[in-house]
Structure 1
Amino acid sequence: MKKNWNGKAYKNHLWSCATATTVPEFERAMLALKEFNKDCYKYLADIPPSQWARSHFTGRAVTDILLNNMCEVLNRWLVDARDKPIIIALEYVREYLMKRIVNVLGKCKNSDQLLTPYATKQFEVIKKEASKLTVLWSGSQQYQVNGPYGEQVVVDFGNRECACRKWEIIGIPCKHVVAALYNLNANDDQVGPPDEVGAPEHWVHSVYKIDTWKNTYTFTINPINGRSMWPKSNVPYTLMPPKKIVRAGRPKKNRRKGLQEKDNISKDGRLSKKGISMQCSNCKEFGHNKRGCTNGGTSGTGKKRTRNASTSGTSKKKSKK
């Protein structure tokens, strides 16, 4: 798609279609793309939505990831072992996994929360959004949750479902479910879910819990002795490596980058921030960062920079005179 329809507008339309969690929301996003460009709409319409649109996912994976970033992280750490012989490369992978397992076990040991650090950070944002919603109880295990801009969904605790489908697809209760749980805990006379209510974290899928994270890394990789202590083999012949064809030029070590990655890389080799809306960590407003903030805050570097710029301009004028 990027080869034929490039630009931020097409990218935003694509992500609106891909991140929609319900079929009506997906259809509205596709209709907006059709009004914007019919040829691009036809290109995406020919691809089955179950392969790229979250609204058509079954929820079996229990994740909100639409990219292969997890594979790229492992690929990045193994870049130093690519040009090594096979045994040395495998030893590099083994040692890396040993260190990774130990690091994760250390984080699990120091964590006293019910969820993993990533899930905890994500769930805190959801709980803040849930405080802005209003809840109506129907007298059964279903709740009507109303939000701004005409948002209205039904939460069904009996089937563990929400009309927005985020709870089903991702596995983490959405803001509508958390708001209904808050209402349920505040009213003891209501007929609650089939099991104990407890904290909202108890309704998160088990894949995000710290106990599951610990069980995933219970299998350790044992160390081995070096090559000098390996037993000698009684094979009567010597195994020779295959003939290597040396090509002209310096061999490439880095992986081949995709078309979208090449466009986002600047001249110094780092990812470009072109087209990204910056958010200030002081005033939380978009359009600038902490260094250029003029709304006060902890640093105040933005005001200093503006004063220095004005004084430097006057000094230059005096020197010219």
Structure 2
Amino acid sequence: MNKRITVAEFKDKVHAELNVNITKSQVYKTFMKAKILIHGSYKDQYNRLWDYCDELMKANPGSTALKRGFKSGCRKIIGVDGCHLRGPHPGVLLTGVGINSNDYVYPVAYAVVEAEKKRSWKWFIEFLKYNLSINDQRNWRFISDKQKGLGSAIQKVIPDVEHRQCIECLRDYDVAAWKWLNDNSSPYHWPRSYFRVAAKCGILLNNLCESFNSVIMDAREKPILGMLETIRIYLMERFRTKREWIKKMSDKICPKIQKKLEKAKTEVAANIARWSEQDKFEVTHMYRGQELESLVHHYYSRDSYLKAYEPAIVSLSGQNVWVQSDKDPILSSLKLKLPGRPKKVRREEPRPNSKGATKLSKSGLIRMTYKKCNQKGNIVRKCPLLVPPNEFGASSNKRPPPSNSNKCSKCKALGHNKRTCPQNLVTRENATCELPPKPGDKAQAAIDEQEVIDL
């Protein structure tokens, strides 16, 4: 199935080959049927999860390839993160990723849960603690983003580990944000000066899990069994490739670490020369004449790299030979419908401008200025200069009259005409107080006046 083909391209292809016009809904249904034929039904694969687990444990007893390699040749630092699955059944894939001797990612564990919440994170952290034997907690490091419930789960399950939180360099972008972070969080989570040195790693960003999540992006679109099998096959081939690659290397230190070492040699190449007499000098090397390779920790050695990838992930048999389990089938997670109307546009949070960008992002950072009053935050409907306050002292919500509205010919004001002019209303009120007498009233007044004279 070609994933890159668009709906319009598929419609054109059907029209060209079959001379038939189809609708968009028919294209989407065709795509869904093709996925089911290739990968299987999403719902039916949940019924065979126990069969898959039994076959996996049978081929790989204890399922220990990843954890045995991690405990033998990797540093005690793990990045944890979660990514959402793409399909009709929602779910989150939790991942734990370490670092190998060549400073590349080393997947340790992954699990599928219903949602990214405190209960799920607590179960996953307990799983890592048990399988990786995290007993000396002060020598272990966990790095993560600020996921909901993860910090409290780590604090409850493994309270003595060093928990680093992923941040970008805020001080160069926003001093106020950096000051707020200092005042509202513990410095043990993010500054390198507070990190413990046992892990031999000063990483601050959680790029470990993000790199692994980007690799398995296509797998997350498949049904549950297809996704797990795609990840397993990827890890099986990766371990074999890395194992064969390191066997061809003859250096004691891994290549990437050797490049960093050579760069460090260049930076400290300035030796200290002390003048003894005339043409005699005493030159002292920064590393006191020792070979720098002998000072490199064994975490970065070739032997540690080989130990990490020495365990092999054994292949599995096909689904047609799996033994059917007698356990109750696992139900697929339900799709929760949140109250209210769904949001179509993602609301972006204020963030610092990226490096090298030429324009400043307006999302949450800039308050617009209204050109009529030159005040920030005002709009046409609520500008106090254009909309007079009502009798309670608050500005009216009515929009000011546009420039092309009716113009009174009497008072020259906008928004009304001569018939509805306020001045006319005042004149009418005054005229009402002194109304002219009617014709009948004049005769009656003359008679009354004559009677007064006779009297």
Give the structure-1-normalised TM-score: 0.46
Higher relative contact order (CA 8 A, sep 6+): 2
Q: Who wins on radius of gyration, i.e. which is larger? A: 2
Higher strand residue share: 2
Give the structure-2-normalised TM-score: 0.33
